[in-house]
Structure 1
């Protein structure tokens, strides 16, 4: 059921006034979201080992952002912030959490029927809407289903846990589970002895190929009208199960212990083993790049290039460390690839390496090719930006982001009234607030009763992007000001409480 985003009179007038010519002038919008792709894992961001020619070309033809941030350092809350335009101190989902429906793949905690998504606003403005990949904002039988949140078509993984394998038992086609592998591969196995063969962890149907195929069908079907295509691809989130042909394109010596490699990965840090983990990780990023190339080629084939906005970004930073220090979770080797481009922290962290992400936007005739932006922007900004691009009506409820259309045209970013905030409810509980060059951060907000959070940290991100100098004791008044703003604007979310914080005006 469509939610009431606009007044009935406004909706009637918009529908009556929109001619076929005007509809055709609305830009198509393609929003591509990588999964756990670090700030430094693309060639256009300085990556020297992994091949990403299609995304690099996208950067040459559009604008590359140097200080773009996700809405959260893990999957579900980042997607919630993106879809609803509200930062984590106002968002409904503030951490990864299962829905609790008792299934093996339960889906994540659902956004409510009252949540207004980008897809709903664009659909009401005449856009065909499709999402293909990983959803993570509620099971199909809940209010959070993508089909109940504005998407005409959904195909992929509704549940993030099902997405731990690229050869799962089923994928979700709208609200139906469709079997794709009769002998699926679980996403988590260990093999602590004996030879490891990547072929042992492959089945009949590779999910990414199916997701890409369905997204291309959506483009073909809707090429003659404006469409919003949301592509939350899986790569490079582990488990590592990329196509062998991509693995074979990377040097065998990378993983050879006699030539400086770390050898096989046996699943000791979770997910699946792999005999060539470095090559496999690079292959996942390159496979993602190839997906992007396929989508762009289809747009070009239909003559839609000049009227299509393409956005590429990631949901959070690269995968964090595990129990075995040789590897990160799932066998990744972030240090080998300089995945964070020298920034501190990884996925699950609100340090720069966990939340600063790649972002590229191409819009021929509107964005100068080869341009860059170095101002801090983040996920809440996309909602007002895309709505303005589409000539759609803003929702009545206040959003937390800024319209970036001026930035895309080369103008300065307007001053923020609502500061950039990450009110994160996993990994011990973390708060981060950014105002201009200043970023305050505090960890351990979910500390057990009788224990206090860790002390505040304060960084000058302009002069110290690697967050090496904690200035909290030198500038206590700045910390107090940022803390006060957060506590004043913060709303209590009953499903994601922080007892130490809720209802307080100061944490001391």
Structure 2
């Protein structure tokens, strides 16, 4: 017995040390989310018009993801997927002002159960319904307890601009000693209206993408969008400096992402690339080799399961997203053969605003994309820029017959849209050449229709299925 006691004491000491080390090694997590931000609008994505040194440095110290896509081209449904680890249909977040059901588990709740101190700050997180509710809505929300985020998080605050940094400092001051933290910081940039003229480049010197016409107002509009991202970068740099000053920079998993595509031409509110393709950067020295890139397909619903995986926490059984932790470690095994996204109602049903009722669906991979427009009889309506000088100029040029043909003859100015759009996105990345119905692409198009059809059935989509009964 005397011989056993020293070994037992040693074993208990090592076990205690291991458990303490394990707790200490749980990473802090900072999730930085920009608002309406597409690839390639960061310097690290090769855009030379940008001045984004903070995010470029973050990418050089971590990993840049080239194929990250949101599950919807609007903030509310997209964010519901980010937080729940599930697709938009699965959580029934198809309406812009919908609150996230209180019974749906979010990944920050699982982090909190595992000992994390959790918080959300900055611009509205959008998952407790619209910030501007009529009395009739407020009454229902109160009666049924539909505002849930103050119960889901330890710290909840809202504000824009410099207030985000103030709130993050306040949150960090409140984190109990010895607890890891999770903070979700929401930025309003580069959401319209654009209000950062001092950060804008010269409109005449920027490089326009192929998907935009070269006009005076288009240049000014894009320069203003770039200015907002440049300002965003400055503010994110201040937050990263705060982590460094507190000695938290190297033991924090830092993830930066766009919530959905930019409110630019054929962007936000559409299922084209600019509406879904977002920047994604991750830095965590314990896991990620500096200056690396990943080319695997990533869905917005993958974020929560990935963060939980890095923290050593099992995801909720309802989560359908796939962890891409392996990609952070250099393993390029694909999680997805196809990605899916949903365009739900956006804004109000005011007269002339078809965007409130647009219910399109898409399935895509790195080579092809199918868009299904069941409400094909509705014309295109821009989201968030219908009153902009850029859009007014485009309408005028179109009516005068002066707009470049490829812009005048796409769905942008058509009185109605095709029910199906099928694109070879390797050879047509701007998605202007609709191959739907072409004999040489019929077999492949049917393959994509079948995938979308299956997905819509599985998740009980209310929209008519793309393959009708015989």
- TM-score w.r.t. the length of structure 2 is 0.73
Larger Rg over CA atoms: 2
C-alpha deviations, 1:24-81, integer Å up to 9, x for none? 2111111111001221221112222331110111111111111111121011011011
- Structure 1: any 5+ residue segments left out of the alignment? 1-15, 97-107, 157-170, 172-206, 266-275, 322-344
| 8 Å contact kept, 2:302–2:322 | yes
- Structure 2: any 5+ residue segments left out of the alignment? 1-15, 130-140, 206-213, 346-354, 379-414
Structure 2 counterpart SS, 1:90: helix
| 8 Å contact kept, 2:200–2:228 | no
CA drift at 1:248? 3.5
The equivalent residue for 2:91 is 91
| 8 Å contact kept, 2:27–2:251 | yes
When you count helix as a share of all residues, which structure comes out higher?
A: 2
Match for 1:409 among 309, 329, 336? 329
CA distance in 2, matches of 1:281, 1:436: 27
Structure 2 counterpart SS, 1:93: coil
C-alpha deviations, 1:188-247, integer Å up to 9, x for none? xxxxxxxxxxxxxxxxxxx322232111221233274211111121111012334xxxx3
Match for 2:248 among 279, 288, 304? 304
CA distance in 2, matches of 1:465, 1:79: 25
The equivalent residue for 1:37 is 37
Matched, 1:442 2:363: no
Gap change, CA 1:90 and 1:447, over 3 Å in 2: farther
The equivalent residue for 2:127 is 137
C-alpha deviations, 1:418-474, integer Å up to 9, x for none? x411122233221111245332112243757xx997232223334443324433322
CA drift at 1:264? 13
The equivalent residue for 1:28 is 28
CA drift at 1:23? 2.0
Match for 1:155 among 157, 182, 185? 157
Matched, 1:212 2:194: no
Gap change, CA 1:507 and 1:62, over 3 Å in 2: farther
CA distance in 1, matches of 2:199, 2:316: 48
CA drift at 1:135? 1.0
CA drift at 1:111? 1.2
CA drift at 1:277? 6.5
The equivalent residue for 2:191 is 237
Kindly tell me the number of residue pairs found equivalent between the two proteins. Answer: 383
| 8 Å contact kept, 1:320–1:346 | yes
CA RMSD of aligned residues (A): 3.3
Gap change, CA 1:433 and 1:304, over 3 Å in 2: same
CA drift at 1:304? 1.8
| 8 Å contact kept, 1:30–1:228 | yes
Match for 1:362 among 283, 291, 294? 283
CA distance in 2, matches of 1:264, 1:404: 37
The equivalent residue for 1:506 is 468
